[in-house]
Amino acid sequence: MDSRRQPRWTQTWLGGVRSAGIDLGYPGERLGFPREGGGAVAGLGRRTGALLIDWLICTWAITQGLLKINPAHHVWVPVAILALEYVLLVGTMGMTFGMRLLSIRVAALDGGRPAFPSVLVRTLLLCLAVPALIWDRDHRGLHDRVAGTVVVRA
């Protein structure tokens, strides 16, 4: 057997199905979204950056700055403010402050604005954190799958 042509079984197992030569397509292809540009599925970097910006706004600017509450003593306050921000802003504009800065938005599977019940479900699951850490090949967390949403480039 020629080792240059056939990868070892550990290489395909450790590297995932793509290293075995299986083409899964680009993220969002199964959902009908474009590969690049506006409307393409947002990557992990933009999504994480937007969440970090929103978390910093909710923790420092609002909880500590406006409300004068120490988040170390009241851990639930920044989470509640983050949830309120997501429900209000994603429910009305389709994006939070962090998403706006990084040019991404939450969309329904048809590309339009998500319905308000979907925003509520998505926000609740996002605040639980674990559902947001379970991803599929279209870069959709479990919270997006349950809510019928996807995060795309604006």
| Section 78-104 average pLDDT | 97
Tokens of 29: 């292809």
Least confident of 2-6, 84-88, 113-117: 2-6
Rounded CA-CA distance 42/39 in Å is: 8
For residue 59, name the pLDDT band (cuts at 50, 70, 90). very high
For residue 11, name the pLDDT band (cuts at 50, 70, 90). low
Spell out the domain ranges in the chain.
40-153
Burial 91-118, CB ≥16 within 10 A → b, else e: beebbbbbbbebebbbbbbeeebbeeeb
Query: Is the Cα dihedral 43, 48, 76, 91 positive or negative?
Result: negative
Tokens of 85: 């921000």
What is the pTM for the complete model shown? 0.82
